[in-house]
Amino acid sequence: MLVSIEDIESLQRCGYPVYAGALGENLTTVGIDFRKIRVGDQFRAGEVELAITKLRKPCQTLDGIKRGIQKELYHATPGAANWGRGGFYAKIVTPGTIVKNDIIAKAGP
């Protein structure tokens, strides 16, 4: 699962005690506008190619961080202010290695 550091920082400014990894993500990205991500988009992270499979709908467990965080993280309409704020699930298209500070960028056209 991918989550952006920009969304984590936005949640921090709203008073939520979150940090990279707190939302259960496997990859924390920098500089990718999650409002523009759509199911089927592909990204390269290090040697790995990923395909976005679905928008993450945060579970009730995250309300343990702070009540109301689920509402901040989820909106089902592509491009909406909260679209992608809770992250995206992805599948591995091409396996390989990802290490800290590897570039994560959109693959293809």
Q: Which residues form the domain of 21?
A: 2-106
Question: What is the per-residue pLDDT for 31?
Answer: 93
Distance of CA 7 to the CA centre of its chain: 8
Low-confidence spans in the chain with pLDDT less than 50: none
Cβ neighbours of residue 48 closer than 8 Å, sequence gap 6 or more: 92, 94, 95, 96, 97, 98
pLDDT value, residue 85: 84
How many domains does the chain fold into? 1
> What's the burial of 30, exposed, middle or buried (CB within 10 Å: 0-12/13-18/19+)?
exposed
User: Cα–Cα distance between 107 and 52 in angstroms, integer?
Assistant: 11
HSE-up (13 A, CA, CB side) for residue 9: 7
**Confidence at residue 66, expressed as pLDDT on a 0 to 100 scale:** 62
- Number of neighbouring beta carbons within 10 Å of residue 69: 21
User: What is the domain-level CATH number for residue 97?
Assistant: 2.40.33.20
Model pTM? 0.84
In this prediction, residue 38 carries a pLDDT of 94
